[in-house]
Structure 1
Amino acid sequence: MIGSVFTSVDHDKFRALRITHLAARFEELIKDEANDAAAPEELFLTAVDEALELRRSIRIEKLIRQAKFPIPEASVAELNYPPGRSITPVRMKRYATHEWRADPTNLLIISPTGGGKTYLACAIGIAACHTE
């Protein structure tokens, strides 16, 4: 097995810059024989994209945890739209993609007991966390 591409000094620099995940993934890509034909720039940009996606997913998980949604697994995609409920997939998509930070609009959800108000509110809130 090939040793580390980076020295301990390099790893200290990565920690100081808070890019250890990026460096680790870049090193994995370099060591993978399947990537031998790829340019180093391609491998680096792949590692950057993956590190950004990891940071984004961590940030979303943190927002959802901080919001303390009673149903943290609620999803707009999992909603059903029975007739007479006065809610449509188009309307839910609009709520889910709304820029809540730029336009903090109030949303009033009215329904009888057991109508799914909490689930609906959680699903919209979680969708808002994903748009951040």
Structure 2
Amino acid sequence: MLNHPTLDQIHQLGLAGMARAFTELDTNPETSALSHGEWLGLLLDREITARRDKRLTTRLRYARLRHNATIEDVDYRSVRGLDRALFQKLIQGDWIDAHDNLVLSGPTGVGKSWLACALGHKACRDDRPALYQRAPKLFTELAVARAEGRHGRVIRTLGAVNLLILDDFGLAPLDAGARHDLLEIVEERYGRRSTIITSQIPPAQWHDVIGDPTYADAILDRLIHNAHRIELSGESLRKTRKSSPKNA
């Protein structure tokens, strides 16, 4: 077999996964009994896997998730009010295809951000691009973008991603600029994309956080009416798991 010319051709086609598999198979004496069809099947399988892994790496890099969280590591044993049946349903991702939203509320340390990132990671694995943003930082960056003439482009970017995670919403009352930006974001996404909001403040008090009643009504109408809700409670997991791994 003309191994080197064949490898050169595979590389020229950009089939890196297939090239690695070809080298491994050709140097493994146990594969000599494989048929041509079996060889080809293994090469194709490795190429498909390599491309899938590359796409996932790219999506996760873009998502910039705060936590390296996965759905396999979710701890359902902690006493914090996590509805396992609902969360398992959310893991399937149909709510993202339906452009529903999700509100994760509860006191600090109960795993809101971690669970949101786990769902974001699963979305990336399922070819649904995600993006993580801390709400306070995002509103500051949007104010800078407005001054630099990039505001509209940033809003369109936030509106385009399949799953937007807005973490730590409501840590401080919104000013006029932040209120306007939040309305622009939810309007851009309403009925087209899904959003996860995490907050220490229950949704019933978000009117006070937003400030202006007219803006609050418009924002909440677009965020809440089609939102799944998970209200967590209990002690901070950080206090009880100082020596534990990443699970939340």
Shorter-chain TM-score range: 0.7 to 0.9
Give the CA deviation at 1:66: 0.6
Query: Highest Rg: 1 or 2?
Result: 2
Q: Which runs of 5+ in 1 are unaligned?
A: none
TM-score (norm 1): 0.81
How far apart, CA to CA, are the structure 1 residues paired with 2:42 and 2:96? Answer: 30
Deviations 1:36-62 (A, max 9, x none): 111021011112111211211121122
Matching of residue 48 in structure 1 with residue 47 in structure 2: no
Identity %: 25
How far apart, CA to CA, are the structure 2 residues paired with 1:11 and 1:78? Answer: 40
Aligned residues of 2:71 and 2:118 also touching (Cα < 8 A): yes
Q: Which runs of 5+ in 2 are unaligned?
A: 128-248
Give the CA deviation at 1:4: 5.9
Deviations 1:33-92 (A, max 9, x none): 101111021011112111211211121122111111111x2122222223351x233222
Matching of residue 6 in structure 1 with residue 1 in structure 2: no
Alpha-carbon RMSD: 2.2
Which is strand-richer, 1 or 2?
Answer: 2
- In 2 relative to 1, CA 60–119 (structure 1 residues): closer, same or farther, beyond 3 Å? same
Aligned residues of 2:59 and 2:124 also touching (Cα < 8 A): yes
- In 2 relative to 1, CA 5–121 (structure 1 residues): closer, same or farther, beyond 3 Å? same
- Matched with 2:85 is 90
TM-score (norm 2): 0.46
- Matched with 1:76 is 71
- State the one-letter code of the partner of 2:55: R
- In 2 relative to 1, CA 60–96 (structure 1 residues): closer, same or farther, beyond 3 Å? same
- Matched with 2:122 is 127
- Matched with 1:34 is 30
Structure 1 window deviating more from structure 2 (41-50 vs 19-28): it is: 19-28
Q: 1:107 aligns with which of 90, 94, 102?
A: 102
- State the one-letter code of the partner of 2:4: F
Structure 1 window deviating more from structure 2 (26-35 vs 96-105): it is: 96-105
